[in-house]
């Protein structure tokens, strides 16, 4: 199966988006909130790449969203987080405060 142009664009954008996502993410946000934001970005990328490549129908849209989500997550965990780039951006663009410490018992 050969990837479509829309899927390739979704993958390419997904690879470079973790630092952009880190600008919005805050260190005090929980993991699920950060994951939901990443999925929202992947949805927008999937919709946009499918639309601008003329594949704006059911299956290509979903495929582009899934490709973007997988590539964003993989790129973040294999390149951007280990290098310290994404966490550094996240800390530098924090609006104040840090991640809440564990509640006292």
Residuewise pLDDT in 10s, the chain (105 residues) = 799 999 999 999 999 999 999 999 999 999 999 999 999 999 999 999 999 999 898 899 999 999 999 999 999 999 999 999 999 999 999 987 555 444 555
Task: Report in angstroms the alpha-carbon separations of 88 from 30, 56, 102.
Answer: 17, 36, 22
Phi then psi dihedrals of residue 103, to 5 deg: -65, 145
Two tokens at 24?
A: 């919005």
Two tokens at 81?
A: 């987080």
Is 103 within a domain?
no
The total domain count for the chain is: 1
Is 11 within a domain?
yes
Q: How many helices (H) and strands (E) does the chain have?
A: 5, 0
Is 100 within a domain?
no
- 3-state SS, residue 4: coil
Alpha-carbon torsion (89, 90, 95, 101), positive or negative? negative
Is 99 within a domain?
no
Range of the domain at 34: 5-92
Two tokens at 54?
A: 């003329």
């Amino acid at each position: 199966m050969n990837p479509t142009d829309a899927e390739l664009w979704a993958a390419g954008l997904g690879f470079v988006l973790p630092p952009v996502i880190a600008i919005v993410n805050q260190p005090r946000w929980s993991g699920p909130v950060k994951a939901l934001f990443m999925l929202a970005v992947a949805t927008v990328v999937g919709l946009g790449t499918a639309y601008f490549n003329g594949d704006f129908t059911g299956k290509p849209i979903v495929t582009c969203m899934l490709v973007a989500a997988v590539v964003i997550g993989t790129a973040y965990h294999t390149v951007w987080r280990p290098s310290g780039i994404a966490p550094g951006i996240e800390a530098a663009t924090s609006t104040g405060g840090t991640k809440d410490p564990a509640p006292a018992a």
